[in-house]
A and B are shown apart, each in its own frame.
Chain A
Amino acid sequence: MIRDRGYFHWDGAFVERRLPWWPITRQGLRLAFKMKLFKFFFAGSLLPGVVFLAGVYISERLEDFKSMVRGGRVLFLTINPAFFKTYYTIDFLMMALVVLMLFSGAGLIADDLKHNALQLYFARPIRKRDYFLGKAGVLWFFLLILTLVPGLLFILFKLVFSGSFALLRSYPWLPLSVLAESLVLTVFFSLYTLLLSSLSANRRYVSIMIFGVYIFTDVLFGIFYGLVRSPYVALVSIKANLQQVASFLFGQAPAYAVSWVYSILILAAICVASVLVLNRRIKGVTVVR
């Protein structure tokens, strides 16, 4: 038996990783894909991207699809910034992002808190920021697949199908808008998820919070709006704030008559608060005073 050899030394050499957090991200992705339900939801969350991609194709083949369009309403198939803004703000995509965060992110820190694993991480030569980046990397992977990748594919496919650069000539800033909007969604949802994951050691509570806070702020907005009819109450809704920022980034009229600056400030405040809380919650040792 190997055990009979007794303890023996490892004769290899340590390596300095340029991305010391990468093993944490890789393990996080592995664990996420081990969940059967997660695979199902992940596949489902790709649906809006596929549908919109089909829209890009059809927009260049309108003649072929005319028989399928009744009443001549084909405005949806005009590929312009509004098309992109629609993709990034439709309820289905927003909900898909929330559900993905719920499945892939709820346990990221909560499980480590529950099972006392933080001290094992920090007994290794990794810093707090490496741990944070490693966990956030898992979320960024999924978020960017649903935001940046489809956005860039829409532009690429439009260029390929149309055979011209008309889209980029008309809207040269569009790739930057796609990038900025993807980053806004990615940074916000990853910090939002990690914040809630660090607040409890029970991943079920965290899942409820991720879903509940998102829905609750929107319901609150609906109730207040019904009472006071002021567009400013949109600022209490996470979804509405994200939609306001998306409208600005794609040069569209905002859904609510409130400056997008307020929305970006609110989202930024949530992100800053998340970083501060995470900095306090993530440590190698829990001190019971």
Chain B
Amino acid sequence: MTGVEEQSLVLEDIHFAYGPVAALRGVSLTMGSGAIGLLGPNGAGKSTLLRIMLGFLPPHQGRGRVLGYDILTEQTTLRRYVGYMPEDDCLIPGMDAVTFTAFFGELAGMPRAEAMKRAHDVLFYVGLGESRYRLLETYSSGMQQRLKLAQALVHDPRLLFLDEPTSNLDPQGRAEVLDLIVDITSKKDISVLISSHILSDIEYLCSQVVILNKGLVAAQGLLADLRRTRYNLFELKVKGETEGFLRKLQSRGCRPETTEDGLLKVYLPEGLDTMDIIRAAGEEKVQVRQLIKSQTSLEDLFAQTVGVD
């Protein structure tokens, strides 16, 4: 072990392809401590990236270090210090939660007795204390989600990879799991990389985000900075025939959207400003009755970055 690195994760020019389909096309990113959100539409390469960081897949090009360990040559040692909570439901039929959790602690290298003791503790921590002797086949989806978190925590990792940690959970369960993750990241020296489709979860948990799109890093950094520098969204109320106005905005590189409550949202590319909107409105004889800079949200940032609604 090279000690706790200041940068828990450094990737340089990572390429990976499934046959002819390129999944990652030169991903470079640096991650410090704390909670980092990994975002991207389906097929953006999030899961592939997680798998490469865990050493499940060797990158076709590029290199990287996780917690100071080379992802190509030191992956076995690296896995001792990372925890992984996969998206899929995972269990071993016939086992109860304590045996299951202790088993994976033992596989991580914990002494058997200590793995068993720690398994009890983390199961109580994730809220499965009362049902820890039940067979896993009888667990609900929400309980299995907590169990996956328990097995990821049992060996006390320094870096936690969470893939869709709140899927399959009811609102109360979701809130509890989010609180657990906040507890893990804010109070303790564990870094967490969270891949999730639920943007509000990422917004709640993470101070940094990495947005992947089409195998490339579309944006990365502190959420606050990204909002400030990349975000340029305006909300308009207009009167008149909007069809031509929308076409004109699109022709100038803007991305207009009509909301359900009759508002117009316009993403401005770099180089354009509000006067360009006003000019387009004037040319199309549309009256602009309200033009305000929109409240920033991760959803908007995500939509602007990856170009989806």
Contacts and interface: CB of A to CB of B under 8 A. Distances in A.
A127 interface: yes
A7 B111 contact: no
B19 interface: yes
A283 B121 contact: no
Q: What is the size category of the interface that chain B forms with chain A? A: 35 or more
A285 interface: yes
A20 B109 CA distance: 8
A12 B110 contact: yes
Contacts of A20: 107
B92 A111 contact: yes
Given A7-B153, A7-B188, A119-B90, A285 B108 contact: no
B85 to A, nearest CB: 9
Interface string B51-91: 10011110000000000000000001101101110101111
Nearest to A20: B107
A14 B124 contact: no
B156 A10 contact: yes
A283 B54 CA distance: 12
Given A124-B107, A125-B79, A3 B93 contact: no
A63 B155 CA distance: 65
Interface in B83-115: 83-84, 86, 88-95, 99, 103-104, 106-112, 114
Nearest to B112: A23
A1 B156 CA distance: 20
A115 interface: yes
Main secondary structure of the interface of B (DSSP, over half): mixed
Contact of A119 (B76, B82, B84, B155): B84
Chain A contact surface mostly = loop
Contacts of B184: 7
Contacts of A23: 103, 106-107, 112
B57 A285 contact: yes
B92 A117 contact: yes
Nearest to A285: B56
Contacts of B112: 23
A24 B104 CA distance: 10
Given A3-B127, A120-B151, A10 B54 contact: no
Sorting the interface of chain A by its residue count into under 10, 10 to 19, 20 to 34 or 35 or more gives 35 or more
A9 B188 contact: yes
B228 interface: no
A112 interface: yes
B183 interface: yes
Interface in B164-204: 180, 183-184, 187-188, 190
B133 interface: no
A227 interface: no
B118 interface: yes
Contacts of A107: 93
Interface of B: 18-19, 21, 51, 54-57, 76-77, 79-80, 82-84, 86, 88-95, 99, 103-104, 106-112, 114, 118, 121, 124-125, 127, 129, 151, 153, 155-156, 180, 183-184, 187-188, 190
Q: Which 3 A-B pairs have the closest CB atoms?
A: A14-B109, A284-B56, A10-B156
5 contacts: A2-B125, A27-B95, A117-B91, A123-B83, A287-B57
